[in-house]
Amino acid sequence: MMSQSAYAQAGVDIEAGDRAVELMKAHVARTRRPEVLGGLGGFAGFFDASAFKSYRHPVLATSTDGVGTKVAIAQAMDVHDTIGFDLLGMLVDDLVVSGAEPLFVTDYIACGRVVPERIAAIVKGIAAACETAGCALLGGETAEHPGLLESDEYDIAGATTGVVERDEILGAERIEAGDVVLAMASSGMHSNGYSLVRHVLLHQAKMSLEGHVDELGRTLGEELLVPTHVYAKDVLEMIAATKHAAGIHAMSHITGGGLANNLARVVPDHLGVTIDRSTWTPPAIFQLVQQVGQVSQADIEATLNQGVGMVAILPEDSVEAAQQVLSARGVESWLAGQVGDSTAEHARVTMVGEHPRA
């Protein structure tokens, strides 16, 4: 049997892993919900399903994702306690568009070398984002992969589970002609399109992450590391507040593929959505990428969120109540389009107009 010292010689430090667990325990504890059983360190996490007895017909929803190449920015900046918000945004906000409440999250961190303080910082961010979303960080895994990853490299991924009443699941079948599209502002680039952004700004233009960019009002690295906004509680409160009106019909989380492609995923075949670009101005970072890289409008819109992180499709009667909730929670929103009968065979979402100049 291989001894621990021999394992350490192969590049795996079990003691460092144990120290990392100790450092992260306080962060994980802050995410605890009443349904969570046991503590950190077991082989599995436990969530008391008897809580579902209060539901008429509970349906479980699940989502899994990672952060992508944004981790390269965190590593280059040596800032690791915000990337967890990017992970949670990719997880719980994919889940919440169905109307499901996220209950718990598990994470996976692969690294070339376990640095306890760095792993604890990553988990600190994940835990803080779980608090924002109202879900528990139920467990996770840290794997040391010497030889596959450099000593300062890591990647993170996770999964989340939520619950929703079956007759309250949001989706395409609820959408009707005459509905409107309510856009919610992103906090920045969120966690998609970073391969394009890094190629354009860092490799082609040779810009420095430490360099101050006047148009951004901060360094490029600070801009690119802005955490993803976690919309889970915003959306759940909005859904609850509009039930007395006509409610929310469907939602779309704007991630990889951009606004049109993600919105098309929830639009039924017989309807079409028209989005008016003139209703908002993309933040400076999106304009910078497009100008520096001479990226076409079609390519930029198919890659980046362009300042829209989430959209709701809803009847006009629900707009006022929805915007009141979002405004109270500090989320900027605006009417960006409308649903009508489909006019083109494959154009479920049509972009029209031009963005105002900044």
Using CA atoms, how far apart are residues 297 and 75, in angstroms rounded to an integer?
30
Which candidate, 3, 53, 256, 52, places its Cα nearest to that of 163?
A: 52
Per-residue pLDDT of 130-177, as tens digits, reads 999 999 999 889 999 998 999 999 999 999 999 999 999 999 999 999
Q: What is the pLDDT along the chain (358 residues), one digit of tens a residue?
A: 445 555 555 555 566 656 666 766 777 677 888 888 877 666 788 889 998 999 999 999 999 999 999 999 999 999 999 999 999 999 999 999 999 999 999 999 999 999 989 999 999 999 999 999 999 999 889 999 998 999 999 999 999 999 999 999 999 999 999 999 999 999 999 999 999 999 999 999 999 999 999 999 999 999 999 999 999 999 999 999 998 777 999 999 999 899 999 999 999 988 999 999 999 999 999 999 999 999 999 999 999 999 999 999 999 999 999 999 999 999 999 999 999 987 655 568 999 999 997 6
pLDDT of residue 252: 97
pLDDT of residue 335: 98
Per-residue pLDDT of 173-201, as tens digits, reads 999 999 999 999 999 999 999 999 999 99
pLDDT of residue 357: 79
Contacts of 67 (CB under 8 A, 6+ apart): 83, 86, 87, 90, 155, 156, 157, 191
Q: How many residues comprise the chain?
A: 358
Share of residues in the chain with pLDDT > 70 (%): 91
Q: Which amino acid is at 189?
A: M
Phi, psi for 144 (deg, rounded to 5) = -100, 120
For residue 34, give both structure tokens. Answer: 């009443």
Buried b (16+ CB within 10 A) or exposed e, 127-166: bbbbebbbbbbbbbebebeeeebeeeebbbbbbbbbbbee
- pTM of structure: 0.91
For residue 180, give both structure tokens. Answer: 């409107």
